[in-house]
Amino acid sequence: MIRPALDASAISEAVRHGETTVAEVADAFLERIEALEPDVHAFASFKPLQVRLQASLNEGRGLLAGVPVGIKDILDSADHPTQFFSPIYADHQPSRDAHVVTLLRQAGALIMGKTHTTEFAYMRTGPTRNPHDLERTPGSSSAGSAAGMAADFFAVALGTQTAGSLLKPAAYCGLFAFKPSFGLVSLEGVKPLAPSFDTVGWYGRSVRDLGLVARVLIPGFELPEAPRRPLHLGFCRTPRWDQVQPEVAEALEHAVEQLRHAGHQVSELKLPDEFAGVFDDHLIINDCEGARSLAKEFEQHRSLLSPSILAMFDRAAATTWDQETAAKARLAALAPRLNERCQPFDAILAPNCAMLAPLAVDSAENTGPSDFIKFWGAFGWPQVNIPLPRAEGLLPIGLQMIGRFRTDGALLRVAERVAAELLTDRGH
Amino acid sequence: MIRPALDASAISEAVRHGETTVAEVADAFLERIEALEPDVHAFASFKPLQVRLQASLNEGRGLLAGVPVGIKDILDSADHPTQFFSPIYADHQPSRDAHVVTLLRQAGALIMGKTHTTEFAYMRTGPTRNPHDLERTPGSSSAGSAAGMAADFFAVALGTQTAGSLLKPAAYCGLFAFKPSFGLVSLEGVKPLAPSFDTVGWYGRSVRDLGLVARVLIPGFELPEAPRRPLHLGFCRTPRWDQVQPEVAEALEHAVEQLRHAGHQVSELKLPDEFAGVFDDHLIINDCEGARSLAKEFEQHRSLLSPSILAMFDRAAATTWDQETAAKARLAALAPRLNERCQPFDAILAPNCAMLAPLAVDSAENTGPSDFIKFWGAFGWPQVNIPLPRAEGLLPIGLQMIGRFRTDGALLRVAERVAAELLTDRGH
């Protein structure tokens, strides 16, 4: 019997080697879902018979042979409705899969269902709860994918990120996550929000799974050799470090100390004041592009949009064309300077979320700031979340790792070593 | 009776003022289509009854009230199949309209049908012919939209551009065309090819129509006041001027002289040698991104792809990750330098295509180079085509006008003056 807690690499290997069948894998995960879904509410659409049908047709071949996957309901799917958590699209059934969903199927994955998103991947939250504490939010917007991972409903899940939508839920739910460099993964069939930032990313049970999925979703992607020498890491508190709650700050600093004790060099990376405006520039662009992306829904169905979306339209209307142009120009000018400052490091360490997962009841329109995530996402750089080892019963805390633009493979290799060091120290 | 040769601004005004009905407009254009479509082959899908039904439901309101529009078959549409000129998608019926198609409907437009594209907006051409000479190609990839405009099948048409797909057919078919700055128009429901460059653009009968459609498809777009002083234009022959055929070069130089005689300053803009690599960098990125965008079709339906698509995959496979990264970095580094050199000018004038429309029989996999178009598109800058006045019976020649990034409104205003000057000289 397959354990739902196995990672995708282990599951697909067991399937390919005939140590288990895809039907057995499907049954194990379906059982888990049927037991916990009534509390977690990860799924926007779930059809167990459809999963069993896929399993019976699955040939047990491919990089993701028999691997159960959850799909954020911001991506189109031919066998489930795609509703974007908006009444405007209630029961809307697309004619074809998003490009990445097809690539998953071609690699042998089992599509377990569509997972809850916030409304159009923006702020209004759905019913999903955090499996670590059902009173708390899993974060947004890739809420169902993250909560479903934490509840062992699937071994891999797709999300998307515009500001903090992939990494924040990874921090709150204690997951490995990877948001690739901007532009590497096809957005065909993915509802746009702010096209300057929109990126498909994914959750996995291990760093090696993050790389496995990268090989499926980024044709031509290859993992380089891991460096064997001690790593040189930059620890960047980012200009808003003062927002980080003491418990989170302490855990991050402890992780940095662990890495130093393991023989790696971790240097403080201080960014000059000119980087303090990145947060606001990201907001300006997100607002203006978001208003353009949802223009047709605003025109025809205004009364069905949430207050947070309408507030975004208000801010966009109050922003001039030249202000948006200037925000884009500032980011473009800062990118090479950030690259230069980060060049000496194998990767950057930074906070992911400033806080622990807040209570769901307080999170209907806001699950907490994404500042430390969007700071790097503004430049399209690849980002990873490493869940810090935590004592039983404590809420998860995430360590963010960042690579320079298009150094995705190297970042995953460095993340693999960092994750191993942090776990080792835990005494496992 | 409405004349199909009226521009969209005139048609929508006549409809809004009750001078004609939408049904009359539809009939006039349908008659034209029925007479000439058997020779032109502009449509991939055309349903006259469906057009009449739309016309009967049209309320005659909006910026595009009653304006007949053609839609390139690379954009999804809920009431026509979307086939991308690929047998892989034969009869494929999307569940919803591309975002821009919905915006057109909301503005009162009549969707006349889907127009022929090349295979996935790449190179393999369809059956469409150039109305100026039925032995010749209309250019690619927005072939049906351009040929349909030249044949008066609709007053506006949507296309897309990755390298030269919007402007080239405008040059060959003698059309006003506008490719906005990268990132302004939603790509939801548009099949991606190379996402670093993919942009929706359109054809119109006049520069004012290009601006009218911009107001519909770019929420928040506003046209500034036109400058009243003499213009200062930069004439950029671009590093590949030696490819321009004598007849085209002569026509462009004549246009420059006309503008000078009209009192405008036209200075030669010479770019330093470092810009000579832009063509190759565009090709590298187009190949690598194209191979990623069509990965699912390549995986499952390789035998249904054309030789030109397969050659793109071969080139992508022979390109390293670092070569693609370097190409992107070079373009990013050149962008501010190009901006600085173009800052003194109200707009840039440049060749559009180096040649006149070639024979269709020679154009099955290649309708001619797009170098002068993709040079500017590589930076995401807005581009306009002005059809040069030509004696009856001569094939069209296009003058390309370019603005700096996100100066779209100003570019259209300058283009309006340039077009008027060139027409005035013709003696109309």
Residue ending a domain, among A192, A217, A242, is A217
Identify whether B294 is part of a domain.
Answer: no
A100: domain CATH number is 3.90.1300.10
Q: What average pLDDT is seen over chain B?
A: 96
A184/B328 Cβ within 8 A: no
B274-306 residues labelled b (16+ CB within 10 A) or e (exposed): ebeebbebbbbbbbbbbbbbbbbbbeeeeeebb
Identify whether B283 is part of a domain.
Answer: no
Two tokens, residue A270: 């201080």
Assess whether B74 and B118 both reside in one domain: yes
Assess whether A132 and A236 both reside in one domain: no
Identify whether B366 is part of a domain.
Answer: yes
pLDDT of residue A428: 37
Identify whether B358 is part of a domain.
Answer: yes
Q: Which of A282, A378, A289, A293 has its CA nearest to residue B187?
A: A293
User: Do A262 and A295 form a contact (C-beta atoms < 8 A)?
Assistant: no
Identify whether B307 is part of a domain.
Answer: no
B186/A292 Cβ within 8 A: yes
pLDDT tier at B239, thresholds 50, 70, 90 = confident
Domain count, chain A: 2
Assess whether A179 and A243 both reside in one domain: no
C-alpha B300/C-alpha A212 separation (Å) is: 20
Assess whether A202 and A258 both reside in one domain: no
pLDDT of residue A425: 57
Q: Which of B422, B192, B159 has its CA nearest to residue B291?
A: B192
**Distance (Å) from the C-alpha of residue A385 to the closest C-alpha of chain B?**
24
User: Do B401 and B168 form a contact (C-beta atoms < 8 A)?
Assistant: no
DSSP A350-364: EES-SSPPPBGGG-S
Burial of A104 (0-12, 13-18, 19+ CB in 10 A): buried
Work out the angle at residue A8's Cα, subtended by the Cα atoms of residues A6 and A10, and round it to the nearest 5 degrees. 60
Is residue A168 annotated as a catalytic residue, yes or no? no
Tally Cβ neighbours within 10 Å of residue A127: 14
Two tokens, residue B175: 């059309």
Interface of A with B (CB under 8 A): 92-96, 99, 102-103, 106, 183-184, 186-188, 191-192, 195-196, 218-220, 222, 288-289, 291-293, 295-296, 299-300, 316-317, 321, 324-325, 328, 332-333, 335-336, 405-406, 409
pLDDT tier at B226, thresholds 50, 70, 90 = confident
Identify whether B419 is part of a domain.
Answer: yes
User: Which residues on adjacent β-strands are paired with residue A176?
Assistant: A204
Assess whether B267 and B374 both reside in one domain: yes
C-alpha A399/C-alpha A380 separation (Å) is: 18
Over residues B8-28, mean pLDDT? 98
Identify the closest residue of chain A to B221 by CA–CA distance.
A321
Identify whether A272 is part of a domain.
Answer: yes
DSSP A25-62: HHHHHHHHHHHHHHHH--EEE--HHHHHHHHHH--S-S
Q: B51-64: per-residue pLDDT in tens? A: 999 999 999 999 99
Assess whether A199 and A249 both reside in one domain: no
| pLDDT tens by residue, chain A, 428 residues | 566 779 999 999 999 999 999 999 999 999 999 999 999 999 999 999 999 999 999 999 999 999 999 999 999 999 999 999 999 999 999 999 999 999 999 999 999 999 999 999 999 999 999 999 999 999 999 999 999 999 999 999 999 999 999 999 999 999 999 999 999 999 999 999 999 999 999 999 999 999 999 999 999 998 999 889 999 999 999 889 999 999 999 999 999 999 999 999 999 999 999 999 999 999 999 999 999 999 999 999 999 999 999 999 999 999 999 999 999 999 999 999 999 999 999 999 999 999 999 999 999 999 999 999 999 999 999 999 999 999 999 999 999 999 999 999 999 999 999 999 999 854 43
Assess whether B174 and B240 both reside in one domain: no
Helix H, strand E, coil C: the string for A89-143 is: HCCCCCCCCCHHHHHHHHCCCEEEEEECCCHHHCCCCCCCCECCECCECCCCCCH
Assess whether A369 and A257 both reside in one domain: yes
Assess whether B122 and B95 both reside in one domain: yes
**Distance (Å) from the C-alpha of residue A98 to the closest C-alpha of chain B?**
10
Two tokens, residue A79: 């066998």
pLDDT of residue B428: 37
Pairing of strands A383-387, B110-115: unpaired
C-alpha B213/C-alpha B62 separation (Å) is: 11
Indicate the SS3 state at residue A65: coil
Q: Which of A370, A389, A391 has its CA nearest to residue A161?
A: A370
C-alpha B141/C-alpha B416 separation (Å) is: 26
Write the CA distances from B39 to A308, B51, B134, integer angstroms.
Answer: 53, 21, 7
pLDDT of residue B427: 44
A99/B95 Cβ within 8 A: no
pLDDT of residue B381: 98
Assess whether B202 and B236 both reside in one domain: no
Minimum-distance CB partner of A99 among B187, B296, B406:
B296
User: Which residues on adjacent β-strands are paired with residue A233?
Assistant: A266, A347
Identify whether A226 is part of a domain.
Answer: no
Indicate the SS3 state at residue A339: helix
Two tokens, residue B400: 């390309």
Tally Cβ neighbours within 10 Å of residue A8: 28
pLDDT of residue A424: 85
Minimum-distance CB partner of B186 among A196, A293, A409:
A293
Tally Cβ neighbours within 10 Å of residue B68: 32
Alpha-carbon Rg for chain A, nearest whole angstrom, is: 20
Residue ending a domain, among B189, B217, B245, is B217
Which range marks the domain in which residue A134 is found? Answer: 8-217
Q: Is the pLDDT of residue B315 over 80?
A: yes
User: Do B392 and B174 form a contact (C-beta atoms < 8 A)?
Assistant: no
Assess whether A99 and A146 both reside in one domain: yes
C-alpha A65/C-alpha B137 separation (Å) is: 47
C-alpha B378/C-alpha A316 separation (Å) is: 28
Assess whether A49 and A172 both reside in one domain: yes
